[in-house]
Amino acid sequence: MNNVHGMTDTSTSHRVWIGFLSLLFLPVSGDAQETQPTPPSQLWMCSLDLQTGISTKLFEFTHLESVGSPRLSGDGERIAFEATLHGTQAASDSHVWVCNTNGSEMRDLGPGAMPTWSPRGKRIAFCKRSPEHGVWVMQADGSHQQLIDEAGWCARWSPDGNMIAYTRRVNEAADFVIFNLVEDEFFPVFGDGRSGYSSFYWNFVWSPDSKRLCFKGNGPDSEIHVASVAVHNGPDVQVHYRGDDTIRADLAWVDNNIVAFTRTTGEDKRNQLMTVRTGVQQPAVGNAPLPLAGQLQNHANRSPAVSRDGRILIYISRSR
């Protein structure tokens, strides 16, 4: 007997059997899944091609934890980051590590955090916790360490190589201090407690032209700002985004107009890379942060850093 669709009863029974059989091959759930252990999440170093918007996994961190602050060397061949050895060091005892971009030749350079490369990759500036607290510079192999400022924290080498910026309290107020290596002099960006911020967070970033610093700061009324300030010719502060403590401190200047940062989003408090435009003075509708296109989906992504040529963004990603 044909039904209205021109199909016989026998085809219906075939479909039932096909459907029944297909159920056997569906991914099992429930009791069957309980027999398979949930794979542990993996921690990856990833790179995002900013032109194609495609992310690739560079390597996996198998023996390290508390990994953060990755930075690409000027030639794009090596990555410096901070981490602790799994099970052997406390999170506060981070070390500076360097490796090739494929994860090979990973080397521990000793205690330290938040490394930043010189332009040609021969030296690294970083900071240490007590008892040797301060901003330091060393050769890229970890030798010849020199203290720059024992009261400083979180150094960032400018793209042109002539300056190292770091945070420090100047006249009882949060400030950025610029160390000019060529002229061998230090100067505060704000000075005299004029920053208006109670604190500046770590992992701020230089603009590609070495003229501005973009940072996360605690502004008035404990409001969190993503803002930038001119280094020379008077502190010219531009606030790009006002948010809350879901914004993490890791920032990256993607191009002349866009800054990326990490934000904890969603009910599952997952880290995501967000972008905001820097061309506007006041954040308003239209400058809300947008997710960075091309980052790995269903992963917790954080700690962005951009290569010197502005084509690659590396970040740390944890699989769910």
Partner 1 sequence: MEATKLRFLSECYEFGSFNRSHVTMSAKSGRAPFSGPPKGIRSCRFCRRSEPGCCVDRLSTRTTVVDNTYFKRRRSLGTFQRMRSFPLILAGLCCCLPEQSVAAPPTVEQVNSALDVAVMAAKNGLPRLSLEALQKSLGNGPPTVSTVPPDTKIVYQGARVNTSIPVPKPPLEAIRDRIPDTIFGLSAFWKQSAQAEDVYLALRDVVLPPGRRTEAFLYSLPMKVSRLQPNRMPPTESVAQALVVWAKQADQVNDLHRHLEERNLKDSPEGILLVLLIALEVRDQAAIDEQSARLLQLLEGGTNRRTAEMVAFVGMNFQRAGHFPNVAAELLHHAGLTIAGLDLLEPEEDSPARAVLLSAARSRFALGQRAAAVELLKQYLTVKVEGKYSTSSPGLDSQKLETVGRELYRRGMVGAAREVLGQVNADAFERRYRAQGLLGQSTSPSIPGTVAPSATRPATLWAADDIESRPAVANQIWFCSLDTETHISKLHFTLPDFQNAASLAVSPDGSEIAFDATFPGEAMTSDSQIFIAALDGTAIRSMGRGTMPSWSPEGKRLVCSRYSPSKGVWIMRAAGADAQLLDESGWSARWSPDGRLIVYTRQQHGRSDPVVYDIVEDEFFSVFDGERNPFQQISGNFSWSPDSTQVAFKATTSPAGTNNAESQIATAFIFGTARPSVAYQQQGYFTAAVEWTPSGRRIVCSPDLPLYGTERLHYLETHRLAEPVYIQGQEADRRNTSASWLPDGKTLVYMSRPVRK
In eight-state DSSP terms, residue 239 is E
Q: By CB under 8 A, is residue 108 in contact with partner 1? A: yes
User: Which one of 34, 105, 172, 221 is in contact with partner 1 (CB under 8 A)?
Assistant: 105
CA distance linking residue 265 with residue 25, whole number of Å: 35
Q: Would you say 185 or 267 has its CB closer to partner 1?
A: 185
Smallest separation, CB 59 to partner 1 (Å): 11
Q: Is the dihedral of CA 253, 61, 145, 75 positive or negative?
A: negative
Find the Cα–Cα–Cα–Cα dihedral 25, 27, 30, 35, rounded to 10°: 90
Q: By CB under 8 A, is residue 85 in contact with partner 1? A: yes
3-state secondary structure of 200: strand
Q: Would you say 224 or 316 has its CB closer to partner 1?
A: 316
Q: By CB under 8 A, is residue 104 in contact with partner 1? A: yes
Q: Strand pairing partners for 186? A: 179
Q: How many positions of this chain bind partner 1 (CB under 8 A)?
A: 25
User: Which one of 59, 111, 129, 139 is in contact with partner 1 (CB under 8 A)?
Assistant: 139
Q: CA-based Rg of the chain, rounded to a whole angstrom? A: 24
User: Which one of 9, 150, 183, 255 is in contact with partner 1 (CB under 8 A)?
Assistant: 183
Q: By CB under 8 A, is residue 128 in contact with partner 1? A: no
Q: Would you say 157 or 201 has its CB closer to partner 1?
A: 157
Q: Would you say 42 or 238 has its CB closer to partner 1?
A: 42
Residues 213-272 touching partner 1, rule: CB under 8 A, are none
- DSSP H or E segment with residue 98: strand 95-100
Contact 79, 72 (CB under 8 A): yes
In eight-state DSSP terms, residue 89 is S
Smallest separation, CB 182 to partner 1 (Å): 4
First to last CA, the chain: 52
Q: Which residues bind partner 1 (CB under 8 A)?
A: 62-64, 85, 104-108, 118-120, 122-123, 139, 143-144, 161-162, 180-185
